[in-house]
Structure 1
Amino acid sequence: MNIVIFAPGLKASAIGRMTGLLVRELSAQGHTVVLIRSEEKVLLSAVPQSFSVEVIDWLQTSAVDAACAQADAIVHQIGDNYHYHYGSLEWLSKYPSVVCLHDFYLGNLFFQWAQTHMAEAEQALLHWYGAGSNKKFFEYSHRQDFIELTCAAMPMTEWLCAMASAVITHSSWGIKRVLDSCAGPVRAVPLAYEVPAWDGESAVSNAEAHADGEPFNILTIGNVNANKRAASVIRALAQSEKLRRSAVFRLVGQCDTLKALELSALARNLGVNLVISGPVDDDVLAVIVRGADVVSCLRWPSLEAASASAIEAMLHCKPVVVTNVGFYREIPSDHVVHIDPDNEIDSLCKALEWLHAEPEARLALGRRAQAWASQQFTAAGYCRALLGVVDDMHMAAPILHSMRFFAQALSDWKTDTRWLGTSLALDPIRSLLGTTA
């Protein structure tokens, strides 16, 4: 099969790294893959990660058209980052495609796209969310709580999925909006992920080290956004004298200056040991994760279809604390510690005190998580599901084409469609089919 995949090629992109796994697996299975970099123009000059297949830029129009014309399947890997998925938005409507949806919330992607497509953007808002939504969305965009105000009411999931001929997403919690907007096949498939081989033995040494007074290392990885709840972790640690004395809370990922100053001041005032490390490369990150005793993957609101950081931590045999919401709620309760979002700080404090006091339980939790995640989040499983969705998309294509034809005809006639469910419409169809049912 000839497969074209639109995805960011930057090494900094988690979606790009995941795509690299798929490219390697599909190539190993004998498929021909062309990778089309989807970043906006200014980012395309950066050296991409190694994909070991033909790589072209979305701006190379003739080459993209040629690749897509020969493709058996066109796949777009898309999340809520306009700078990384600019090219996908330019090409998605031109060829029937599978969208691999990494975030159920796409408000930031949509907002940036709308700046040069305002008429279409307002039409999309009115169509999916009703009168007044076009004004509300852009009024909210100027506020710090933009995401909180729009994630439930106007997540823009439907806007993107309506352009897809099929959708793969990575959990089921937000899938209703996908089903409501994509007429083609929709499937929830566990995200493909991989970490360097590791048997978790350093987790044993970590567990034993605390008897000698070593620090209790709590880690959060990824961009330090408000929804990662770093301030809540600091407040939870401050509630416990034991944790204040022994815990070190480390943030690894991009953190803007104002956020860093705000969190540092909070930790200092509450007597919590906070370390902000900034972004690191994959090899350094692996070492940092292995040295952690607990990984905090709290999210509120929950926006993503799956959490790469939670999967990474589980594959590294680490105990993980997660908010009991979205993707995280779908992880079995004996593989992670679920935190009640309605009682976040108290719930988190108790969980961390327990994990600190019970090193063997901590180790056992990490091992259960690792065993489960290593079976769940595989490139082979993802590719198998992707190829199945491609087959389903091709089978559904003539049916969907016919439906669009008749829907357009009815729209052109400006007719009342309520009669479609009556005997006036159904009896002639039954007669043509030779049935009486």
Structure 2
Amino acid sequence: MSLIVWVTPVSKKSAIAKFSKMIVDEFFSRNQSVVVVSSDVENVGESLFSDYVDCGDVEAIRELWDGGAKFIYNVGNNHGYHGGVLEICDQFPGVGVFHDVYYYDLFYGWISSLSLEAHDEFLSTIYGASVPLDLRSVKDVLAHRVENFPMLEWIAPKFSSIITHSKFAADRMRGLVLGSVSAVPLAYKAPVQAATSDSDKKSFASDKLIVSTFGDANSNKRIESVIHAIASADLLKQCVKYNVVGSISESYKEKLVDLASGLGVDLNVVGRVSWEDYAQHMNATAVVCCLRYPPTESASATLIESLLSGKLTLVTDVGCYSDVPDDLVVKIPQHDEVRGLAYGMKLALQNPEFAKVTGHRARSWAEQNYSVDAYVDGVEAHLDIGADIRGNLVIWQRTRDLLKAICVDDRDEKSLSLLVENVRDFEILGAPSSIGVV
């Protein structure tokens, strides 16, 4: 088997580093040779890997490349963790593992390290001169960026092929890369719950139905909608305690507390907690609200944690959440989410047997769907499909350069397919690329 170079954050703080540790360990258990390259561009701190190559060690990386290694890049929307990918992926082409479908934050970190003056021109080059960049009148900046310049069109063409974690945006990705796009469900293991004393258990318990939102608290997790849904029915106001568990800004916390207080909702903003307490909060929760709008990721760790924990899970019926079978979660229509959320919580209160059975079935499905073994099988199958990646990616890059040079929109699939099919015959391929791949 060929040597695999697995490019990933290695910092213990990174969720993708934790994912990568599971995958690399599984590769090793299969006697696969793997070298880990750190993509962190900020201080790593404590690393999850005892041995790795820094992304700045280009000489060592080139030696791996010259030895015929296959490069696999984990691509996430955080420049501090993934900036190293951008430093080496053009020199050493490979497969992109796309953890997100929205990459503006990664782009902004990268362009800031070069020159912010180029920001607007760069976006206009990719999305057209009419792209709406003025944010002064925009109410939801994230939704605006997701709709108008998600930067998927910037990052995807840098890779020969893509592994994504759901069907969401897969078709869009296929129009941006030369090779295949494979949807492989994210591998994940729920946090291990440590044994607790009776007094500890009491601190997490409640005589009310506990509904929780987990992870970094922000507007696209629809926390305010959950509060409004609880406030919409006396039954829910009397019987539901709503926990928000995860990092949160002080200003957003104050906003949520004021809203809940005014509506008579029992809200507990827990904030960031240890992994042990996180697992305890998950265990005490009856209903997990795993909502996103707009969706920005190709998979959700919180969703998988909830399913693996056997919880009744409420999800927005968009993005990667739509991949979960309808009978294993309660899908909330985005256009009517307050009423949908109220329905889901009432269902848990009035039909606890339904919640229990659904949770058990969801756990069984998740254990198979999100297993490490199945994920590595998917990666290996993808590598077999896209074995000849080096020469093809050079041709792909130069094809896109040609499109720019002759002012053809590279999202024009008909023109793009024609050029890709015939580009090997173009004598200009012997010349170095000067325009760049965007």
Where on the TM-score scale, by shorter chain, does this alignment land: which range? 0.7 to 0.9
Match of 1:170 in 2: 165
Question: Is 1:149 matched with 2:144?
Answer: yes
Candidates 308, 314, 329, aligned match of 2:301: 308
Candidates 324, 328, 332, aligned match of 1:339: 332
1:408 & 1:115 partners in 2: Cα distance? Answer: 24
* Greater Cα offset, 249-258 or 140-149: 140-149
Cα deviation for residue 67 of structure 1 reads 3.8
Match of 2:177 in 1: 182
TM-score normalised by structure 1 residue count = 0.84
Q: How does 1:1-400 map to 2 (within 5 A)?
A: 1-41=2-42, 43-44=43-44, 46-49=45-48, 51=49, 54-70=51-67, 72-118=69-115, 124-133=122-131, 136-137=132-133, 139-140=134-135, 145-195=140-190, 214-395=207-388, 397-399=390-392
Q: Per the alignment, in what secondary structure is the counterpart of residue 99 of structure 1?
A: strand
Q: 1:189 to 1:142 in 2, by over 3 A?
A: farther
Q: 1:412 to 1:313 in 2, by over 3 A?
A: closer
1:413 & 1:243 partners in 2: Cα distance? Answer: 61
User: C-alpha offsets along residues 315-339 of structure 1, whole Å, 9 cap, x if unaligned?
Assistant: 0111100001111111111000001
1:149 & 1:224 partners in 2: Cα distance? Answer: 19
Q: Per the alignment, in what secondary structure is the counterpart of residue 386 of structure 2?
A: helix
- Percent of residue pairs bearing the same amino acid type: 29
Cα deviation for residue 259 of structure 1 reads 0.4
* Greater Cα offset, 295-304 or 392-401: 392-401
For 1:307, give the aligned amino acid.
S
Contact 1:3 1:71 (8 Å CA) reproduced: no
Q: Per the alignment, in what secondary structure is the counterpart of residue 181 of structure 1?
A: coil
Cα deviation for residue 224 of structure 1 reads 0.2
Cα deviation for residue 125 of structure 1 reads 2.7
For 1:34, give the aligned amino acid.
V
Contact 2:159 2:393 (8 Å CA) reproduced: no
Contact 2:4 2:34 (8 Å CA) reproduced: yes
1:240 & 1:150 partners in 2: Cα distance? Answer: 35
2:393 & 2:357 partners in 1: Cα distance? Answer: 50
1:397 & 1:63 partners in 2: Cα distance? Answer: 19
Q: 1:359 to 1:411 in 2, by over 3 A?
A: closer
The runs of 4+ residues in structure 1 deviating greater than 6 Å are: 405-415
For 1:76, give the aligned amino acid.
Y
Instruction: Please provide the CA RMSD for this pair.
Output: 3.1
For 1:308, give the aligned amino acid.
A
Q: Per the alignment, in what secondary structure is the counterpart of residue 140 of structure 1?
A: coil
Contact 1:3 1:34 (8 Å CA) reproduced: yes
Contact 2:93 2:390 (8 Å CA) reproduced: no
Q: 1:122 to 1:176 in 2, by over 3 A?
A: farther
Q: Per the alignment, in what secondary structure is the counterpart of residue 378 of structure 2?
A: helix
Q: Per the alignment, in what secondary structure is the counterpart of residue 259 of structure 1?
A: helix
Q: 1:223 to 1:69 in 2, by over 3 A?
A: farther
User: C-alpha offsets along residues 113-135 of structure 1, whole Å, 9 cap, x if unaligned?
Assistant: 222345775565334311233xx
Cα deviation for residue 22 of structure 1 reads 0.4
Match of 2:433 in 1: none
Contact 1:98 1:168 (8 Å CA) reproduced: yes
Match of 1:434 in 2: none
Q: Per the alignment, in what secondary structure is the counterpart of residue 158 of structure 2?
A: coil
2:232 & 2:308 partners in 1: Cα distance? Answer: 30
User: C-alpha offsets along residues 330-364 of structure 1, whole Å, 9 cap, x if unaligned?
Assistant: 11110000011111101111111111111111101
Q: 1:385 to 1:275 in 2, by over 3 A?
A: same
User: C-alpha offsets along residues 100-156 of structure 1, whole Å, 9 cap, x if unaligned?
Assistant: 0011111121122222345775565334311233xx33x339966221112122211
2:363 & 2:152 partners in 1: Cα distance? Answer: 31
2:402 & 2:343 partners in 1: Cα distance? Answer: 62
Contact 1:80 1:107 (8 Å CA) reproduced: yes
For 2:22, give the aligned amino acid.
L
Cα deviation for residue 62 of structure 1 reads 3.3
Q: 1:39 to 1:401 in 2, by over 3 A?
A: closer
2:345 & 2:397 partners in 1: Cα distance? Answer: 54
Contact 2:291 2:315 (8 Å CA) reproduced: yes
Q: 1:16 to 1:143 in 2, by over 3 A?
A: farther
Q: Per the alignment, in what secondary structure is the counterpart of residue 277 of structure 1?
A: strand
* Greater Cα offset, 183-192 or 58-67: 58-67
Q: Per the alignment, in what secondary structure is the counterpart of residue 367 of structure 2?
A: helix
2:223 & 2:399 partners in 1: Cα distance? Answer: 52
Contact 1:124 1:159 (8 Å CA) reproduced: no
Q: Per the alignment, in what secondary structure is the counterpart of residue 52 of structure 2?
A: strand
* Greater Cα offset, 391-400 or 283-292: 391-400
1:263 & 1:406 partners in 2: Cα distance? Answer: 50
2:85 & 2:5 partners in 1: Cα distance? Answer: 12
- Which consecutive unaligned segments of at least 5 residues does structure 2 have? 194-200, 409-413, 426-438
Cα deviation for residue 295 of structure 1 reads 0.5
TM-score normalised by structure 2 residue count = 0.84
For 2:26, give the aligned amino acid.
E
Match of 2:198 in 1: none
Contact 2:211 2:288 (8 Å CA) reproduced: yes
Q: 1:180 to 1:297 in 2, by over 3 A?
A: same
Q: 1:363 to 1:397 in 2, by over 3 A?
A: same
1:327 & 1:150 partners in 2: Cα distance? Answer: 19
Cα deviation for residue 245 of structure 1 reads 1.3
For 1:164, give the aligned amino acid.
F
1:326 & 1:57 partners in 2: Cα distance? Answer: 34
Q: 1:305 to 1:248 in 2, by over 3 A?
A: same
Contact 1:158 1:180 (8 Å CA) reproduced: no
